[in-house]
Each structure stands twice: as structure tokens, then as C-alpha cells.
Amino acid sequence: DQQVKQNSPSLSVQEGRISILNCDYTNSMFDYFLWYKKYPAEGPTFLISISSIKDKNEDGRFTVFLNKSAKHLSLHIVPSQPGDSAVYFCAATPVQRGGSTLGRLYFGRGTQLTVWP
Amino acid sequence: ETGVTQTPRHLVMGMTNKKSLKCEQHLGHNAMYWYKQSAKKPLELMFVYNFKEQTENNSVPSRFSPECPNSSHLFLHLHTLQPEDSALYLCASSQDLRLAGAEQFFGPGTRLTVL
């Protein structure tokens, strides 16, 4: 059973507008969350992360929001640019005592974002 | 070379063939991973190595055999695969499993087709 779900396989947004990508998870042991971006013929690249002790993390045009009670996180991109067109993966991991994740990232299926001019 | 490299980028093999996938990371990391991405499925973790020692085998069939001779290189040896093993195989690395933070750096993947 999938523990990380991205229910929207695709999202289309006009350049300059906000893109909101959503992710839900089921495992209450997850306490570190990441977003990756993937262009065709390339591997995923890390974008932004958030620890469960926070509810928001911002990096330039990218902001991730975490709602632990709802087991939901979202990635906001504003303003959206055509170069943001890619597949976005949400990932989650439980953090062990001492801070290690043991490398166990659980990924969603991804959302294809298309930003049109 | 920079980052994480994988060779070959594309591989077509028959079910009776033996082949190997190679991954090399130039980031000074100590943890390396193999993932599988099948069509319309999420990335699935297969194996994890930390300082050359395997720390995770995610119930992977024995027809997939990983090898990690040093912290910079990771191989996936393939033998008697099935057509359903056709997928994108991604290698990744991270600094050290013992450290906080989970950022993994991915290679471009090997697109494997089993006939």
C-alpha cells in the first residue's frame, strides 16, 4: 500500500501564477519530507525539505507547508516559470533516534507540472 | 565527471543474459542506493549501502545482485531477468546514513528493457 500519495498526476499553470502541488501520507512515523524535481532523461534533483517540527519552509520561489494533523504537505511555487515544468516527487522518511533516516525514502508517483507562457 | 553517473544509459537484454549496471558518485559520499521506477509506479528503494556495507535489501529477488567495492562505486548485476523487470534503474548517493538530513543525489538512470 502506498504510504505517500500524489493524487494529481498533472497540473497546468500559467507563467507568473502560483503552482500548488499536493502530497498526502499515511504513516504517522514520517517526520522528514522532501520534494524532488525531475526533468526528462535526468535523475530527480532535490528541491526543498521540511522537518516535522516546522510547518513551513521557504527557499526563494519555493515554499513547502506541512500539516501534520492532516498528514498533508504542499509545495508552492510563486511565481511559476516555464523552466519549472517538470515532474515533482514528494518523499517522506521516518527519522531514527540520533537523526539518521537509514536512507529509507518513500516516494509518491509524481505530478507533472506544465507552466505555459 | 561531476555528481552521480550511471552507465549504460540504455540496456536491452534477453532473459538469459547477464549484464551489470554501474554507478559512480563524485561527491565524496558514503551511502549509495539503488532504486527501481516502473511505469506509473513510485520509485522503489531496492538496496542501501553505507561505507560499503549493505544496510537494506528491500525484499529484492536474487536475480538482482548488488556490489559495492568502495564508497564511490555501486554495481547492480543482473541475471535471468523477467520482462516485468523492465524499468528505469536509478542510483543515488548521500553523505552518510548516520547523519541527520535525507537529501539524496540521483544519477540519470539506466533504462532497462528485458525481452
* Range B89-115 average pLDDT: 87
CB contact under 8 A, B99 and A49: no
Structure confidence at residue B1 (pLDDT): 64
Q: How far, in Å, CA of A113 to CA of A88, rounded?
A: 7
Structure confidence at residue A41 (pLDDT): 83
Contact A30, A93 (CB under 8 A): yes
Contacts of residue A34 in chain B, CB cutoff 8 Å? 102-103
- Inter-CA distances, B64 with B25, B26, B58, Å: 21, 24, 11
Contact A34, A107 (CB under 8 A): no
Tens of pLDDT, residues A24-56? 999 998 989 999 999 988 899 999 999 999 999
**Residue A40 forms contact with B (CB below 8 Å):** no
Structure confidence at residue B92 (pLDDT): 95
How many angstroms separate the CA of residue B81 from the nearest CA in chain A? 23
Instruction: For A39-65, give one letter per residue: b (16+ CB within 10 A) or e.
Output: eeeebbebbbbbeeeeeeeeeeebbbb
The beta-carbon neighbor of A34 closest among B48, B98, B102 is B102
- Backbone phi, psi, residue A84, to 5°: -80, -10
For A88, name the nearest residue in chain B, comparing CA atoms only: B42
**Residue A20 forms contact with B (CB below 8 Å):** no
Among A87, A84, A57, A54, which residue's Cα sits nearest to residue A68? A54
B59-88 residues touching A, CB cutoff 8 A: none
Among A42, A57, A56, which residue's Cα sits nearest to residue A89? A42
Cell numbers 533516534 correspond to: A97
- Inter-CA distances, B21 with A31, A41, A103, B2, B12, Å: 33, 17, 21, 18, 12
* Range B14-22 average pLDDT: 93
Structure confidence at residue A47 (pLDDT): 96
pLDDT tier at A97, thresholds 50, 70, 90? low
